């Protein structure tokens, strides 16, 4: 049996993951058995849900064992197939984990195409799970109306960068909350947000009030406790909130709490988001986001890292909030 480069879990992260929580090593890779395919990974998606996969476990799934290959989604090319439904040479989206080559069940891979001029990595971001998350949160939870003000935190990341464009396309006013002034510039200059507030500024709540003079009609929460607490104080009557990402809690922080009084005063509706409940929106999401990408109203905003060995550092950046855009690792081996 031959081997392939991979990233394994060296120890369970305590708090925000560090690069040395991982090991870069070689693992065995065989030939596909019946109804299996061998995929050569081209680009790997790094996503915050993987923090829970590293421990304590994501949704109902157990945590990856120490020494196990880190799970994850990738795009790659089928190099060998023992399935009638997937031929060698097909480009697929697959759960390969963090490795250069992987044998996976043929039924688990999804062949994909992208609109002309759109890079294949869009399937990991705007046209993939993060983009569907933004689309579903807006369609099913926030339902922006023309003239509404919709606030998005982590506004320049994989989910947030798509959400802002969708809010604008609905005729509402997207307002960003971000972690740095560089990201605030990205939000307004690149991603079409009408205003951006830096959540670490001492007076950020006053800045948010200035950016949202009539209150906040919709809020997509992708960030941390202080952001949630500050935003809900400024909800307009009848506001909708989608609780979608709890970044500090994932990094072993305290459980996120919601100010019930602020929700009550605003007569707000609060939704919990789990993207896997919204797979039925996949076709309309792909059509709408494909259209926005083709027209240039949505810019693919990515932070790219070259080499599988860079994945640990890239993941540590993501979970500390340092990333600027959807995190993609180019697997060049
Ligand atoms: N519920 C679902 O079904 C679902 C599906 C997909 C994603 N999500 C969640 O959506 C959120 C965004 O995902 P993404 O893939 O688009 O990631 P991302 O936004 O590209 O990266 C995470 C961002 O979180 C922000 N953040 C805010 N507070 C933070 C803190 N205390 N520590 C670290 N980062 C902090 C940082 O941006 P700033 O510095 O700009 O604040 C950071 O860049 C994540 O929480 C993710 O788990 C949920």
Rounded CA-CA distance 323/328 in Å is 10
How many A from CA of 103 to the centre of ligand 1? 30
pLDDT at 1: 78
Ligand 1 centre to CA of 211 (Å) is 22
How many Å apart are CA 324 and CA 312, to the nearest integer?
Answer: 16
* Ligand 1 binding pocket, CB closer than 6 Å: 47-49, 130, 133, 154, 156-160, 178-179, 183, 199, 222-224, 244-245, 247-248, 273-275, 318, 320-321, 323, 326
Q: How far is the CA of 87 from the centre of ligand 1 (A)?
A: 36
**Contact present, 228 and 202 (Cβ < 8 Å):** no
Residues 236-251, mean pLDDT to the nearest whole number: 97
User: What domains appear along the chain, each with residue ranges and CATH number?
Assistant: 2-124+300-330 (3.90.180.10), 129-278+287-291 (3.40.50.720)
Write the DSSP string, 271-304.
EE--GGGGGGGHHHHHHHHHHHHHHTSS---EEE
d(CA 47, CA 124): 10
Angle made by CA atoms 287, 186, 234, in degrees to the nearest 5: 85
Give 321 Cα–ligand 1 centroid separation in angstroms. Answer: 8
Question: Which ligand 1 atom sits nearest the alpha carbon of residue 251?
Answer: 32
pLDDT of 59 over the 90 cut: no
HSE of 205, CA atoms in CB hemisphere, 13 A: 10
CA angle, 9 then 302 then 333, to 5° = 50
DSSP string computed for 82-112:
--SSS-TT-EEEEE--SBSEEEEEGGG-EE-
Q: Which of 126, 223, 256 to mutate to test the pocket of ligand 1 (most atoms within 8 A of CB)?
A: 223
Q: Where does the pLDDT of residue 155 fall: very low under 50, low under 70, confident under 90, or very high at 90 and above?
A: very high
For the chain, the straight-line distance linking the first and the last C-alpha, in angstroms and rounded, comes to 18
In the prediction, which pLDDT does 332 show? 79
Q: What is the pLDDT of residue 206?
A: 98
Nearest to 106 by CA among 7, 180, 37: 37
């Amino acid at each position: 049996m031959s081997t392939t480069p991979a990233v394994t879990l060296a120890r369970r992260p305590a708090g925000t993951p560090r690069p040395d929580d991982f090991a870069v090593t070689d693992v065995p890779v065989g030939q596909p058995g019946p109804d299996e395919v061998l995929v050569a990974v081209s680009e790997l998606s790094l996503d915050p849900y993987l923090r829970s996969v590293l421990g304590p476990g994501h949704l109902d799934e157990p945590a990856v064992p120490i020494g196990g290959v880190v799970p994850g989604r990738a795009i790659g090319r089928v190099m060998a197939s023992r399935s009638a439904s997937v031929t060698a040479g097909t480009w697929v989206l697959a759960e390969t984990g963090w490795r250069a080559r992987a044998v996976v069940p043929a039924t688990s891979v999804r062949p994909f195409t992208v609109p002309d001029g759109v890079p294949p990595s869009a399937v990991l971001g705007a046209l993939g799970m993060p983009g569907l998350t933004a689309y579903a949160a807006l369609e099913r939870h926030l339902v922006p109306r023309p003239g509404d003000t919709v606030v998005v935190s982590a506004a320049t990341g994989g989910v947030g960068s798509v959400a802002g464009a969708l809010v604008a396309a609905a005729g509402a006013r997207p307002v960003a909350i971000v972690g740095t002034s560089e990201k605030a510039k990205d939000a307004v200059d690149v991603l079409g947000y009408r205003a951006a507030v830096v959540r670490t500024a001492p007076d950020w709540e006053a800045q948010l009030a200035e950016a949202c003079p009539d209150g906040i009609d919709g809020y997509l929460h992708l960030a941390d406790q202080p952001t949630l607490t500050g935003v809900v104080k400024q909800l307009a009557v009848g506001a909708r909130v989608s609780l979608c990402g709890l970044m500090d809690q994932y990094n072993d922080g305290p459980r996120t709490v919601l100010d019930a009084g602020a929700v009550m005063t605003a007569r707000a509706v609060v939704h919990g988001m789990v993207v896997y409940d919204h797979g039925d929106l996949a076709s309309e999401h792909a059509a709408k986001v494909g259209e926005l990408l083709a027209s240039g109203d949505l810019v693919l905003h990515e932070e790219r890292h070259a080499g599988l060995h860079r994945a640990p550092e890239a993941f540590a950046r993501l979970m500390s909030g340092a990333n600027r855009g959807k995190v993609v690792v180019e697997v060049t081996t």
